[in-house]
Amino acid sequence: MPLRLHPVTRQRLARFRAHRRGCAAFLFLLAAFFVSLFSDFLANDRPLAVRCRGRWTFPILRFHPENDYLQNGRLTPADFKALARSPLFDPSTGNRMIWPPIPFGPLEILSPGDIPLPPRATLVATPSLPVAAADLDPSGNILALRGDASAFGLATGAAPDLPPPVRLAIDSRFSNQPAPALDFPLPDGGPVLSLSPYAPRPAPPATVRLSWRRSLAPRTPLSATIPDFPDSPATLSAIDPATLPPGFPPPGTSGWTHDIRREQVRFPFRPVHSHPLGIDSGGRDVAARMLYALRTSLSFGFLLALATMALGTLVGAVQGYYAGKTDILGQRLVEIWESLPFLYVLILVGSLYGRGFGLLLFLYALFNWIGISYYMRAEFLRLRRAPFVEAARLAGLPARRILFRHILPNALTPIVTFLPFALVGAIGTLAALDYLGFGLPPPTPSWGELLAQAQEFPHAWWLVLYPAVALFLVMLAGVFVGEALRAAYDPAPTPRWQA
């Protein structure tokens, strides 16, 4: 028998479908929730199917110990990642594993060695400032050397070629005459020759110390990326100078110290090919946690919205239908209940019984129904004297049947129009509680928990961008659906700018 809808319902559905933005948002939320229900099949550290020794097993659906594959008598959980790398699953054996599109679980902790990095390195050239000192005798021969003498071509027993001003300053010191400090730069960018100030002594000195130092510009380090750099040997000799940028000093250039630096994996780590959304501070794949967090957020939002509407409708229906003293007493009790601090109650109950999905849903539903109860109370107060209600009462129908069979179908407008906004509020509240640390217990995947990590690691932009975009899209879609439902239940024509 075909489903027959009331003409008013058909008109409302037509107005909802005509609201293109709201209809598209509804399909987006529906598709996102449907996809999130299959998170275990889309992101998991267990394979979907395993063919081993001529037998197919499905670890994603059923627990299979290590003995089922290695036949070693161990009933502990199998490490499928290690099994996939073992000779048992060599392609020539015919054994194989079928992995989900995201082969990482939301709680799987990765090892830094498992993160594949591109074969590149950074060559850092730091300007060096070699300094050398030589003790000269009166003949100008070097008696002793200190520092980086090879950078200036100095050798013990040899007489360096000194310009006349420097030689004159040395002779004045051997003559025991006062002499000021001297800094004499050699031409063509050569080193600077330095002498300390000298004061006369009781006897002339036996040696005079002359210093060589080099001044380079610029003094800031230079860096260049070397693509396709081999893992080993990581030596300077493996660098082709032709691959360096113009003007970059190649290895072996005098006055420069070169160092090869490779990127180190430290969590949280940036997006790479195998982890397109990055890795969080615990070494877990962000893409897998985002997908599971989507399921958690939408499930929490839908369940909380339904519980809120059911409880608020029940309280508002009783108050509005019976009115009088029942309404006044119920309203005072609602106001008292509304004044209780929800966050303090959540902290107290959580410290006594622990945190969990069910407990958080139950506690928040106890405080979130008050707003819808006001609207439902007003609807039942308006309809309690309607002719069809009076006729049902005269027919002897019980109050329960009148409430939920006759009045409620005519008072659904607040429920339908506020349901998407209740969903948006529930998702935002869960993210806020997880961000503050009062929501789901770690390491439960949550968008709020990822945002809390981002506050601790400000450089990890991927921990801010992806959860924030997901929250924005889901909540914006909920608002658009609510706008479309309001337009569908509003008999007035919808303005064109809202369609």
For the record, the structure tokens of 208 come out as 């005079």
Pairing of strands 182-185, 256-261: unpaired
Cα dihedral across residues 171, 177, 183, 187: positive or negative: negative
Q: Over 70: is that where the pLDDT of 492 sits?
A: no
pLDDT of residue 133: 92
Question: Of the candidates 186, 174, 182, 138, which has an alpha carbon nearest to the alpha carbon of residue 159?
Answer: 138
Is 27 within the bounds of a domain? no
Is 37 within the bounds of a domain? no
pLDDT of residue 117: 82
Q: What is the mean pLDDT of the chain?
A: 88
pLDDT of residue 499: 46
Is 272 within the bounds of a domain? no
Quick check: 50 and 80 in contact, CB under 8 A? yes
Q: Over 50: is that where the pLDDT of 480 sits?
A: yes
Q: Are residues 295 and 208 in the same domain?
A: no
Is 23 within the bounds of a domain? no
Question: Of the candidates 54, 91, 83, which has an alpha carbon nearest to the alpha carbon of residue 67?
Answer: 83
Cis, bond preceding 443 (omega within 30 deg of 0) = yes
Q: Over 80: is that where the pLDDT of 493 sits?
A: no
Instruction: Quick: pLDDT tens for 395-454.
Output: 889 988 999 888 988 888 889 889 999 999 999 999 999 998 888 988 899 999 999 999
Question: Of the candidates 42, 82, 83, 78, which has an alpha carbon nearest to the alpha carbon of residue 62?
Answer: 78
Is 112 within the bounds of a domain? no
Q: Are residues 254 and 301 in the same domain?
A: no
For the record, the structure tokens of 137 come out as 């005798």
Question: Rounded to whole angstroms, how far apart are CA atoms 251 and 308?
Answer: 70
Q: Are residues 372 and 489 in the same domain?
A: yes
Q: How confident is the model at residue 126 (pLDDT cuts 50, 70, 90)?
A: confident
Cα dihedral across residues 380, 385, 390, 393: positive or negative: positive
Q: Are residues 349 and 461 in the same domain?
A: yes
Question: Rounded to whole angstroms, how far apart are CA atoms 463 and 45?
Answer: 21
Quick check: 387 and 329 in contact, CB under 8 A? no
Beta bridge partners of 211: 133, 194
Q: Are residues 210 and 315 in the same domain?
A: no
Q: How confident is the model at residue 334 (pLDDT cuts 50, 70, 90)?
A: very high
Is 268 within the bounds of a domain? no
Q: Are residues 370 and 425 in the same domain?
A: yes
Question: Rounded to whole angstroms, how far apart are CA atoms 133 and 152?
Answer: 10
Number of folded domains in the chain?
Answer: 3
pLDDT of residue 118: 79
Would the pTM count as exceeding 0.85? Answer: no
Q: Are residues 332 and 386 in the same domain?
A: yes
CATH of the domain at 374: 1.10.3720.10
Q: Are residues 467 and 393 in the same domain?
A: yes
Quick check: 165 and 178 in contact, CB under 8 A? no
Q: Which domain holds residue 220?
A: 118-262
Q: Are residues 367 and 493 in the same domain?
A: yes
Is 38 within the bounds of a domain? no
Q: Which of 235-249, 360-374, 477-491 has the lowest mean pLDDT?
A: 235-249
Q: Over 70: is that where the pLDDT of 216 sits?
A: no
Q: Are residues 334 and 439 in the same domain?
A: yes
Q: Which of 163-177, 219-233, 245-259, 413-427 has the lowest mean pLDDT?
A: 219-233
pLDDT of residue 1: 47
Q: Which CB contacts under 8 angstroms, 24+ apart, belong to 486-492? A: 486/417, 487/15, 487/16, 487/19, 487/22, 488/12, 488/13, 488/15, 488/16, 488/19, 489/12, 489/413, 489/416, 489/417
Q: How confident is the model at residue 289 (pLDDT cuts 50, 70, 90)?
A: very high
Query: Which one is predicted more confidently, 475 or 354?
Result: 475
Query: Which one is predicted more confidently, 72 or 474?
Result: 474
Pairing of strands 222-227, 120-127: antiparallel
Q: How confident is the model at residue 491 (pLDDT cuts 50, 70, 90)?
A: low
pLDDT of residue 235: 72
The domain boundary residue, chosen from 229, 262, 295: 262
Query: Which one is predicted more confidently, 85 or 247?
Result: 85
Backbone angles phi, psi at 271, to 5 degrees: -60, 135
How confident is the model over 115-134, as a mean pLDDT?
83
Is 370 within the bounds of a domain? yes
Query: Which one is predicted more confidently, 490 or 20?
Result: 20
Q: Are residues 315 and 446 in the same domain?
A: yes
The one-letter code for the residue type at 98 is I
Q: How confident is the model at residue 73 (pLDDT cuts 50, 70, 90)?
A: confident
Q: Are residues 142 and 87 in the same domain?
A: no
Q: Which of 43-47, 377-381, 409-413, 452-456 has the lowest mean pLDDT?
A: 409-413
Q: Over 70: is that where the pLDDT of 3 sits?
A: no
pLDDT of residue 219: 62
pLDDT of residue 347: 85
